[in-house]
Structure 1
Amino acid sequence: MASMSNLIFLSSIFLFNIISIPFLANALSSCNGPCKTLDDCSGQLICINGKCNDDPDVGTRICSGTNPPPSPPSGGGGTCQPSGTLKCSGKSYTQYKCSPPVSSSTPASLTLNDFSEGGDGGGPSECDGKYHSNSERVVALSTGWYSGGTRCGKLIRITAKNGKSVTAKVVDECDSVNGCDAEHAGQPPCRNNIVDGSVSVWNALGLNTDDGVVPVTWSMA
């Protein structure tokens, strides 16, 4: 028969193991906390290599200790939280209904899009139901910045790191919620900080389209 001291020792080990098992409780993990899916992390954190960390696409610095105040969604208060996760082709994509706040110099990622018929988007532009040639300086904005179409037809000014800037017209939404279907030409949801520009926008900024994604800033023109 085990002695009382051994029983206490074994009980302590048992309790320690229970406490240290990840995901036993419903609490969400904070910085560097254990995680298995995007839903296991609190706030704007995402699961990277089994630990909750800053989302590089959103640009938060919560875990580095230099995070700016929480970003309200475009046109409203509160923090911009993921709205869910969409799985397609064996990968998980974070969904957002909001974007970082718009300022006089809003950080964004510029991507390349073909707005012509048969191009990247599949269908015509959402704002006007039309296709646009590659010679036009047009863009699509992430769902939060698109703001339900309130920026349709308006001009924005995009500035590249090389100092060059260009104005372009908003004609479409870069959907940050839906994707991986025929309507979106099989493409996954956009990140929530995307300015999706035509080749004419890239050329005007003196950028190499082979780069695919480049950091820029933008504002209303």
Structure 2
Amino acid sequence: MASSLVCLASLSLVFIFISIPLPYSTAISSCNGACKTLNDCAGQLICINQKCNDDPDVGTHICGRGGGGGSSPSPSPNNCRPFGTLVCKGKSYPKYSCSPPVTSSTKALLTLNDFSEGGDGGGPSECDEQYHPNSERVVALSTGWFDNKSRCGKLIRIQASNGKTTTARVVDECDSRNGCDKEHAGQPTCENNIVDGSASVWNALGLDQDVGKVSVTWSMA
């Protein structure tokens, strides 16, 4: 009889222990970890569909395309994903807050822009609120590379596939989040890997401006 009571008491304790819910908020989840509130996710991760993931508004790319643990994956353009779309003139364009990692030879698309007053760039350059003549070697960088004006006034080195190189000064942002309005001269969002160069940049690289978009590499000068 005594042994039966001991067994029943032990089972009751086990049942009580299992039935007590563990405090959810004490666990800080990493990539793809379970979450209910923003405070449940580590670092700059955000709770999306009850799983911790990169925050598209901040532009973090900690989890990468396939998720994973809490550590950062090797830099890859695939880590930068769109966070929505912008409909402009009946077409949908992805919106980005990030760009591929900057390296000693960053792959990009060089586009042509007129930074002068009345040109296709819209308003004055964001860095200095000035217009720039086509004879000046200046560029605008995609939002992620522009990095909240941190590269304003700095020189970058651009290399074309023909082997020619030139330097250009960063004066503006090629907006990857907004567009199709007066401020952006009615143009849609930029892709997240754009170096938007003046005519002088194209001339220095010996490129045909009629092409409009070519593959290049760039780095900080």
TM norm structure 2: 0.66
Question: Matches of 1:192 and 1:120 in 2, distance apart?
Answer: 19
Asked if 1:71 is matched to 2:73, the reply is no
Query: For residues 95-174 of structure 1, what are the structure 2 equivalents within 5 Å?
Result: 95-174=95-174
The answer to whether the Cα contact below 8 Å between 2:154 and 2:170 also exists between their aligned partners in 1 is yes
Shift of residue 83 of structure 1? 1.5
Query: For residues 54-93 of structure 1, what are the structure 2 equivalents within 5 Å?
Result: 69=74, 71=76, 79-93=79-93
Partner deviation per Cα, 1:100-146 (whole Å, 9 max, x = no partner): 00000000000000000000111100000000000000000000000
Question: Matches of 2:131 and 2:88 in 1, distance apart?
Answer: 27
Instruction: Give the SS at the match of 1:215.
Output: strand
**For structure 2, which runs of at least 5 residues remain unmatched after alignment?**
1-52, 54-65, 67-72
Question: Matches of 1:70 and 1:204 in 2, distance apart?
Answer: 31
Question: Matches of 2:150 and 2:95 in 1, distance apart?
Answer: 21
Structure index of larger Rg: 2
Query: For residues 29-40 of structure 1, what are the structure 2 equivalents within 5 Å?
Result: none
**For structure 1, which runs of at least 5 residues remain unmatched after alignment?**
1-42, 44-61, 63-67, 74-78
Question: Matches of 2:199 and 2:118 in 1, distance apart?
Answer: 15
The answer to whether the Cα contact below 8 Å between 2:96 and 2:143 also exists between their aligned partners in 1 is yes
Shift of residue 71 of structure 1? 2.6
Asked if 1:178 is matched to 2:178, the reply is yes
Shift of residue 163 of structure 1? 0.3
Shift of residue 93 of structure 1? 0.2
Q: Which amino acid aligns with 2:189?
A: P
State the aligned residue count: 151
Question: Matches of 1:80 and 1:215 in 2, distance apart?
Answer: 19
Q: Where has structure 1 moved over 6 Å in runs of 4 or more?
A: none
The residue aligned with 1:203 is 203
State the identity as a percent: 75
